[in-house]
């Protein structure tokens, strides 16, 4: 392994402006003197710099650097490259298992005689306790405090564990609950833009365990969402393997028209990019229209990258970025360093200078003047509806057959009125009536223009005497505490309160399904009369069943439009021709009467959003809050595991671990635990959602005295491997060929013929001393990258997966957990080979890992005499090293023990 970086000759010194000394050293892209670099998209230059800086000729090699420089030719060929991000971002649900694994690694290191204090993240880890607020209390002045107290009651043990981690580990910053939505905290506070570590300057880049990590791309920081195992690997200094992406160049021209919001723009962009097809690609924005977009507007567009399918929507750093950094309290010295470095390394865009034409894989263009007010729905974020067409579209949805744009309500039932009594007052509901109106989610709840725009709508409505019907569940969940400060300074919060939009908390709420219960009388009216009720939210996801089980129509809208629809009380309205309500003097009030102009909004933003607000808010983070500060946690660098805990449990990853790697190992006479067809997703594999009352996980909790009402969710119990192992393959819609068409989380224990839950069958095989494999079709492990989709099968005892093809990240995660991935040869699968899954399978691998080559052929032998050749999907030498050690975590421990320094 090479210790000296082969690119050390391009190290340069960055002087401070005006001769005040130096900022530090940096790897200079211009010093390569390669004209191809000038044509690279800015987002690809960040990948290039990382590869150069981390080149060691083992994890990152010189040919990897060449692939990136030659991006124009290599990106269409789906080549893989290693990438080492500058830092890792965790939120609490996914942060808990990461900290559990670090704590376990310390224990293992200690038992092996190594220095356990060496187990620390090797890159900075920012862990934000987002704590996904359940809106139990909504229309109340003390909603924030009440909801926070409930969250602490439910999650005290989890929060306490993370507080221990914040003290026990170096290089890990934990942001306490109640501080804001993880992505907004990342944008306003955590984002470095440029790092200066031990005198070396380099671009900030981040991978996070939430898909909307992409919000940071609006700040010019390359970031996207990954699964937990990838995040842990990055924390431990391991490279991520990724396909060198194509980059879509998205040119922006012109300026948004008066009254059109950033949300209208992002819904338009989302629809365009979905139609264009950007899955697995970067999108990079450029053009003269960039100067008309605030940083908050850019972040709104970047946030919704998962909804348009891109890995990220990237906005290179320019003068707008620097202004935002100053606004949010970054020091002048820091901003000067950022600008100087990025200019020197050709990563800064100065629109006052002639632009060098960059090459993109494909091109899109949008004139901002063409964007119009709109919403998206009723079931998908990219089904955009112009506001002027909303009523007609809604009526069409009632008529259309059931689908993304249809509810198939019979014509005679479309005018149905459901009468009910609300707290003693007669009331009624019709199809399309709004029952939830929420200004929520990370998309735009810290964008001052839309938040203050919503407040101005509320002010105008209140002055005219308009009200929101009391049975509509209204809430306001800002992404940041700064929002409270500027709403109060503007004097506008009182109008939002008057309409029922009290602040309920700083975290994910309605957008993630934490809308809480709606009033029983309203719920009964909906269910008993089969009403298609509506929710309107300023979120980014509106998939069916996500917002609330009783709102079948869910529309994404800007915060001002959320207020407008709450006032109207229905989505079945034409804002151009129908009144939104009646004023106190009896006159009809229309949409335009309450809609603020862009100039009005800009004036309030300018006078109300001040740098000191950001400084004060984030200074308070370091001080914590009383509930957090009063949490009693154990001291010490080794965690004191509580064997009775049902939330935090020590997993068996390092049981019986020795200093010597176990080496290569095959599989002998294994039974098939599950026999799948195509498109088994990580949602099928990984424990998610509620814990079913008849499941093995429920049985485990009941045996330990947990009441059913306290089961919580699989997500909240991610720190307990016993619960998660029992929830693996527990999806109620999973299809296992052994069950002959029956759907559900069961399988056949082959020797006995018993039909058992997957967990029970796996336990039976393990107790009998048998290995297990899984047979699968194409695209095994597609969907969101979930760490438990690999950890769970490993804990069940699965030794190998033989599939037609794997989703790229899931295959990598299986390797990281020591599971052998094999692919059938092209044109073959279990059915064509005559495999029923009832056979026993032997996979012989050389006992010396040095005799294995990435992608080599392996013969699989069955006890019925059938044999077939498969491809071993260890794709790199690094993955072979992980396999030799039994997994990525074990590899990291032994490397640290063997390190000389």
CATH number, position 499: 3.30.499.10
Residue that the structure tokens 């393959």 belong to: 729
Identify the band that residue 716 occupies on the pLDDT scale cut at 50, 70 and 90. Answer: confident
d(CA 354, CA 351): 7
Q: What is the pLDDT of residue 25?
A: 98
Res. 674: pLDDT tops 70: yes
Query: In percent, how much of the chain has pLDDT > 90?
Result: 73
Q: How far is CA 565 from CA 29, 384, 500, 522, in A?
A: 52, 16, 13, 18
Q: Do 576 and 485 fall into the same domain?
A: yes
Cα three-residue angle 569-571-574, rounded to 5 degrees? 105
Q: Do 363 and 464 fall into the same domain?
A: no
**For residue 428, what are the β-bridge partners?**
419
H helices of 191-318, in order, are 228-235, 262-276, 295-303, 305-308
Paired sense of beta strands 418-422 and 425-429, if any: antiparallel
CATH number, position 303: 3.40.1060.10
- Final residue before a domain boundary, out of 372, 404, 437: 372
Asked if 557 and 433 count as a contact pair (C-beta separation under 8 A), the reply is: no
Asked if residue 254 belongs to a domain, the reply is yes
Query: Radius of gyration over alpha carbons of the chain, in Å?
Result: 28
Stretch 687-695: mean pLDDT: 85
Asked if residue 238 belongs to a domain, the reply is no
Length of the chain: 901
Q: Do 693 and 599 fall into the same domain?
A: no
Q: Which residues contact 503 (CB under 8 A, 6 or more apart)?
A: 143, 144, 476, 477, 478, 484, 493
Asked if residue 532 belongs to a domain, the reply is yes
d(CA 695, CA 437): 35
Predicted confidence (pLDDT) per residue in 92-119, tens digit: 888 899 999 999 999 999 999 889 998 9
Domain count for the chain, please give it.
Answer: 3
Q: Do 265 and 347 fall into the same domain?
A: yes
Q: Do 759 and 845 fall into the same domain?
A: yes
Residue 626, Cβ density class (10 Å: 0-12 exposed, 13-18 middle, ≥19 buried) = exposed
Q: What is the pLDDT of residue 898?
A: 83
pTM confidence score: 0.87
Q: Which of 452, 435, 436, 434 has the alpha carbon at shortest distance from 444?
A: 452
Q: Which of 519, 513, 517, 520 has the alpha carbon at shortest distance from 537?
A: 513
On average, the pLDDT of the chain sits at: 92
Residue 510 DSSP one-character state: G
Res. 350: pLDDT tops 90: yes
Q: Do 271 and 322 fall into the same domain?
A: yes
Q: Do 778 and 696 fall into the same domain?
A: yes
Asked if residue 86 belongs to a domain, the reply is no
Identify the band that residue 132 occupies on the pLDDT scale cut at 50, 70 and 90. Answer: low
Residue 742, Cβ density class (10 Å: 0-12 exposed, 13-18 middle, ≥19 buried) = exposed
d(CA 560, CA 450): 6
Query: In percent, how much of the chain has pLDDT > 70?
Result: 99
Asked if residue 294 belongs to a domain, the reply is yes
**For residue 869, what are the β-bridge partners?**
859
Give the three-state DSSP class for 177. Answer: coil
Predicted confidence (pLDDT) per residue in 794-837, tens digit: 999 999 999 999 987 789 889 999 999 999 999 999 999 999 99
Q: What interhelical angle do 888-898 and 92-111 show, nearest 10?
A: 50
Torsions phi, psi of 114, nearest 5?
-90, 175
Residue 123 DSSP one-character state: S
Q: What is the pLDDT of residue 131?
A: 62
Q: Do 695 and 761 fall into the same domain?
A: yes
d(CA 590, CA 632): 55
Q: What is the pLDDT of residue 521?
A: 96
Q: Do 779 and 838 fall into the same domain?
A: yes
Paired sense of beta strands 588-589 and 581-582, if any: antiparallel
Res. 37: pLDDT tops 60: yes
Report which secondary-structure segment, H or E, holds 393. helix 390-399
Q: Do 574 and 701 fall into the same domain?
A: no
Higher pLDDT: 251 or 130? It is 251
Assigned token pair, 641: 């595991």
Asked if residue 158 belongs to a domain, the reply is no
H helices of 642-720, in order, are 682-685, 696-703
Asked if 116 and 107 count as a contact pair (C-beta separation under 8 A), the reply is: yes
* Domain extent for 531: 414-609
Q: Do 731 and 851 fall into the same domain?
A: yes
Q: Which residues contact 337 (CB under 8 A, 6 or more apart)?
A: 16, 23, 194, 196, 201
Torsion of CA 613, 618, 620, 622, to 10 degrees: -160
Q: What is the pLDDT of residue 647?
A: 93
Q: What interhelical angle do 611-623 and 319-327 show, nearest 10?
A: 60
CATH number, position 721: 3.20.19.10
Q: Which of 13, 37, 33 has the alpha carbon at shortest distance from 23?
A: 13
Stretch 170-186: mean pLDDT: 89
Asked if residue 874 belongs to a domain, the reply is yes
Max avg pLDDT among 169-183, 333-347, 733-747: 333-347
d(CA 29, CA 35): 10
Stretch 476-503: mean pLDDT: 94
Asked if 777 and 829 count as a contact pair (C-beta separation under 8 A), the reply is: yes
Q: Which of 814, 888, 859 has the alpha carbon at shortest distance from 666?
A: 859
The Cβ of residue 623 has, within 10 Å, a number of other Cβ atoms equal to 9
- Final residue before a domain boundary, out of 372, 402, 422: 372
Q: Do 868 and 759 fall into the same domain?
A: yes
Identify the band that residue 901 occupies on the pLDDT scale cut at 50, 70 and 90. Answer: very low
Residue 317 DSSP one-character state: B
Asked if residue 578 belongs to a domain, the reply is yes
SS3 content of the chain, % helix, strand, coil (to 5): 40, 20, 40
Stretch 583-587: mean pLDDT: 91
Q: Which of 131-135, 187-191, 364-368 has the lowest mean pLDDT?
A: 131-135
Res. 130: pLDDT tops 80: no
Predicted confidence (pLDDT) per residue in 527-549, tens digit: 999 999 999 999 888 877 778 88
């Amino acid at each position: 392994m090479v210790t000296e970086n082969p690119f050390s000759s391009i190290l340069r010194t960055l002087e401070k402006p005006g001769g005040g000394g130096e900022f530090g050293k940096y790897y200079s892209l211009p010093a390569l003197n390669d004209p191809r670099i000038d044509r690279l998209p800015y987002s690809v230059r960040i990948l290039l710099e990382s590869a150069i800086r981390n080149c060691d000729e083992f994890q990152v090699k010189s040919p990897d650097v060449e692939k990136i420089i030659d991006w124009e030719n290599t990106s269409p060929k789906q080549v893989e490259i290693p990438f080492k991000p500058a830092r890792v971002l965790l939120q609490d649900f996914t942060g808990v298992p990461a900290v559990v694994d670090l704590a376990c690694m310390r224990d293992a290191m200690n038992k092996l005689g190594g220095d356990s204090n060496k187990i620390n993240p090797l890159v900075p880890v920012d862990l934000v306790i987002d704590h996904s607020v359940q809106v139990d209390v909504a229309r109340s002045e003390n909603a924030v405090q009440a909801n926070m107290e409930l969250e602490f009651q439910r999650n005290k043990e989890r929060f306490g564990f993370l507080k221990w981690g914040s003290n026990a580990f170096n290089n890990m910053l934990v942001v306490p609950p109640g501080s804001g939505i993880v992505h907004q905290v990342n944008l306003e506070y955590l984002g470095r833009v440029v790092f200066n570590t031990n005198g070396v300057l380099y671009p900030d880049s981040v991978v996070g365990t939430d898909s909307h990590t992409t919000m940071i791309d609006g700040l010019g920081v390359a970031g996207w969402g990954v699964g937990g195992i990838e995040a842990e690997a990055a924390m431990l200094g391991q490279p991520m393997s990724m396909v060198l992406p194509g980059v879509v160049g998205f040119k922006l021209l012109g300026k948004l028209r008066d009254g059109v919001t950033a949300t209208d723009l992002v819904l338009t962009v989302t629809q365009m990019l979905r139609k264009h097809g950007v899955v697995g690609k970067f999108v990079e924005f450029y053009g003269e229209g960039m100067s008309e977009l605030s940083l908050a507007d850019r972040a709104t567009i970047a946030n919704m990258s998962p909804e348009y399918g891109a890995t990220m929507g990237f906005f290179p750093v320019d003068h707008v970025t620097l202004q935002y950094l100053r606004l949010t309290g970054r020091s002048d010295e820091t901003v000067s360093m950022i600008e100087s470095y990025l200019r020197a390394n050709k990563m800064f865009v100065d629109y006052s200078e002639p632009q060098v034409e960059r090459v993109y894989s494909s091109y899109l263009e949008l004139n901002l003047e063409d964007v119009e007010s709109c919403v998206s729905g009723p079931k998908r974020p990219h089904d955009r509806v112009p506001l002027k067409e909303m009523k007609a579209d809604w009526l069409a949805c009632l008529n259309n057959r059931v689908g993304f744009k249809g509810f198939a309500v019979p014509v005679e039932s479309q005018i149905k009125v459901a009468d009910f009594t609300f707290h003693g007052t007669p009331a009624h509901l019709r199809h399309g009536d709004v029952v939830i109106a929420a200004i929520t989610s990370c998309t735009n709840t810290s964008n001052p223009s839309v938040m203050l725009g919503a407040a101005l709508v509320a002010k105008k409505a209140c002055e005219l005497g308009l009200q929101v019907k009391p049975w509509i569940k209204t809430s306001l969940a800002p992404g940041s505490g700064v929002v409270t400060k500027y709403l109060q300074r503007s004097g506008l919060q009182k109008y939002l309160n008057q309409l029922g939009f009290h602040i309920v908390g700083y975290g994910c709420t309605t957008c993630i399904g934490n809308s809480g219960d709606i009033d029983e009388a309203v719920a009964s009216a909906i269910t008993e009369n089969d009403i298609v009720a509506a929710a309107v939210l300023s979120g980014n996801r509106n998939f069916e069943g996500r917002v609330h089980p009783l709102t079948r129509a869910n529309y994404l809208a800007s915060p001002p439009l959320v207020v407008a629809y709450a006032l109207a009380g229905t989505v079945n309205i034409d804002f151009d021709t129908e009144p939104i309500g009646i004023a106190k003097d009896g006159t009809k009030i229309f949409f335009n009467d309450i809609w603020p102009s862009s100039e009005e909004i800009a004036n309030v933003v300018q006078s109300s959003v001040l740098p000191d607000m950001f400084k004060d808010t984030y200074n308070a983070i370091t001080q914590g809050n009383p509930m957090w500060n009063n949490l009693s946690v154990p001291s010490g660098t080794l965690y004191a595991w509580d064997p009775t805990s049902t939330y935090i449990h020590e997993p068996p990853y390092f049981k019986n671990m020795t200093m010597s790697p176990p080496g290569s190992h095959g599989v002998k006479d294994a039974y098939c635990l599950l026999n799948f067809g195509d498109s088994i997703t990580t949602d099928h594999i990984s424990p998610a959602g509620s814990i079913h009352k008849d499941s093995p996980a429920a049985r485990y909790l009941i045996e330990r005295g947990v009441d059913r009402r306290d089961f919580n969710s699989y997500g909240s119990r991610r720190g307990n491997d016993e619960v998660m192992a029992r929830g693996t393959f527990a999806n109620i819609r999973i299809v296992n060929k052994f069950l002959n068409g029956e759907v559900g989380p069961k399988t056949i224990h082959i020797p006995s013929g018993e039909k058992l839950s997957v967990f029970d069958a796996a336990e039976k095989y393990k107790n009998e001393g048998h290995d297990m494999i899984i047979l699968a079709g194409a695209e095994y492990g597609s969907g969101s990258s979930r760490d438990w989709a690999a950890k769970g099968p490993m804990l069940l005892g699965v030794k190998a997966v033989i599939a037609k093809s794997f989703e790229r990240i899931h295959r990598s995660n299986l390797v990281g957990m020591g599971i052998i991935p094999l692919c059938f040869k092209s044109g073959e699968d279990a059915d064509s080979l005559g495999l029923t899954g009832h056979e026993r399978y032997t996979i012989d691998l050389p006992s010396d890992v040095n005799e294995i080559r990435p992608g080599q052929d392996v013969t699989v032998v069955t006890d019925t005499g059938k044999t077939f050749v498969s491809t071993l999907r260890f794709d790199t030498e690094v993955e072979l090293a992980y396999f030799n050690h039994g997994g990525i975590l074990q590899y990291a421990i032994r490397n640290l023990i063997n390190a000389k320094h």
